[in-house]
Amino acid sequence: MEVLTVVSYLSSFLTLIYLLVVFGFIRGWHRLVPFKYKQTMGKTSVSIIIAARNEAGNIHRTIEALLAQDYNKELTEIIFIDDHSTDNTAEIILSYAQAGVKLISLKEDQALNSYKKKAIQTAIGQAKGRLIITTDADCRMGVHWLKTIVAFYEEKGYKMISSPVAYDEEKSFFERSQSLEFLYLIGLGASTIGNNMPSTCNGANLAYEREAFYEVGGFQGIDDLASGDDELLLHKIAARYDKQIGFLRNRDAIVYTHAKPNLGEFLQQRKRWASKSTRYKNKSIIVLGVFIWFFNLSILLNLLAGVFFIGFLKIALLQLVLKIAIELLFLIDVTKFARRRSLLVLLPVLNVLHVLYIIYIGVAGNSGKYNWKGRMVK
């Protein structure tokens, strides 16, 4: 069949591209030299900034974790920005005022599409630290987190540092599945930095020089998009400062948060993340994303056609086997770093579902609106 031959060649081409891409991730991950903390007295002033909206149920643990950091308290500033919370988030933050925790209340009369960027930029405007570190109001970290980031910054002198984020305390198969997929994303972002082609990072564990933030114009030009306080800022800084972006490969630098409890919240989160791709200045990242989307689409189409013609099913199964194999090679090292190797047993089961997810998010994330923190944004 001529159609089968054409599909076979096209599927082979897309599969080869995907294998080369993930091989590049593997290479980039191994280029990241694990950072070994040296017992030194940090000298860098730090402002930790957290935008919070309706986080009364989680924020106690975050504040306690930040106050427990074993870095010089005189060089540490903790700033929370209450983003129009309708619960008692602000009151909880204020109860820690005597411990040095600062609260800024965001007061915007006109509706914005990017409240989080406004919150962060407002805090940076009042921050005193040379190094800005952002995290989220539902995150937790070990006591050595801050001093490890500062030590890495003082040794390497990077303008921006991306550090690892992981899920923990999972309560279901669905949440454990997210943990594996999320580690893939964190490893992907780390590997692109290792290859000196930064593409993604996570604002739950991100550090950058205050001066660098202003030199690239802050969030100017990207402040109309609800998401992107992390990735799009990464792209701006990377464009200005070549080879000045680092990934901190050290377990003490990991920030922990929770997976989404249900499919609805998960999809809303991923639509928000995917929406940033419409504003990427680096077209090679967009082209790469399009290739990956078409690769996953080809698997689905071959599976559907395989119901009627066995030849298409064989092509789809071969694509899935190769996809699982190369992703396993990548995730073996990433999950080892996070001490979550047990999650790898989920990989074969999740692959078909992941194909459907990639196809859906590729469309939904670049069209329409999504719900974020009780607001409908785009």
CA nearest neighbour of 266 among 112, 362, 370: 370
Looking at residue 45, what is its pLDDT? 98
SS3 42: coil
Looking at residue 47, what is its pLDDT? 98
Q: What percent of the chain has pLDDT over 90?
A: 75
Does position 1 have pLDDT exceeding 60, yes or no?
no
Which of the residue ranges 62-71, 194-203, 216-225 would you say has the lowest mean pLDDT? Answer: 216-225
Q: How confident is the model at residue 369 (pLDDT cuts 50, 70, 90)?
A: low
Task: Please give the CATH topology (third level) of the domain spanning 35-269.
Answer: Spore Coat Polysaccharide Biosynthesis Protein SpsA; Chain A (3.90.550)
CA–CA–CA angle 261, 265, 270 (5° rounding): 115
Q: How confident is the model at residue 371 (pLDDT cuts 50, 70, 90)?
A: low
Beta strands at 375-377 and 46-52: parallel, antiparallel or unpaired: unpaired
Looking at residue 7, what is its pLDDT? 74
Cα distances (Å, whole numbers) of residue 268 to 61, 164, 279, 353, 373: 25, 22, 19, 17, 10
Looking at residue 278, what is its pLDDT? 66
Q: Which of 114-118, 150-154, 351-355, 368-372 has the highest mean pLDDT?
A: 150-154
Does position 5 have pLDDT exceeding 90, yes or no?
no
For the whole model, what pTM was predicted?
A: 0.92
Q: How confident is the model at residue 377 (pLDDT cuts 50, 70, 90)?
A: low
Of 10 and 225, the one with more pLDDT: 10
CA nearest neighbour of 70 among 135, 186, 149: 149
Report residue 192 as tokens: 């692109």
Does position 161 have pLDDT exceeding 80, yes or no?
yes
Of 19 and 368, the one with more pLDDT: 19
Arithmetic mean of pLDDT, 232-242? 94
Looking at residue 228, what is its pLDDT? 77
Model confidence pLDDT, tens digit, residues 264-287: 899 888 888 887 776 677 778 888
Looking at residue 273, what is its pLDDT? 81
Looking at residue 370, what is its pLDDT? 56
Looking at residue 114, what is its pLDDT? 77
CA distance 84 to 52: 9
Place of tokens 């789809």: 316
Does position 329 have pLDDT exceeding 90, yes or no?
yes
Arithmetic mean of pLDDT, 8-34? 95
Q: What residues does each domain of the chain span?
A: 2-28+283-373, 35-269
Which of the residue ranges 16-20, 56-60, 162-166, 374-378 would you say has the lowest mean pLDDT? Answer: 374-378
Place of tokens 């690892």: 164
Q: What is the mean pLDDT of the chain?
A: 91
Model confidence pLDDT, tens digit, residues 44-81: 999 999 999 999 999 999 999 999 999 999 999 999 99
Arithmetic mean of pLDDT, 166-174? 95
Q: How confident is the model at residue 372 (pLDDT cuts 50, 70, 90)?
A: low
Arithmetic mean of pLDDT, 178-207? 96
CA distance 138 to 50: 10
CA distance 367 to 344: 33
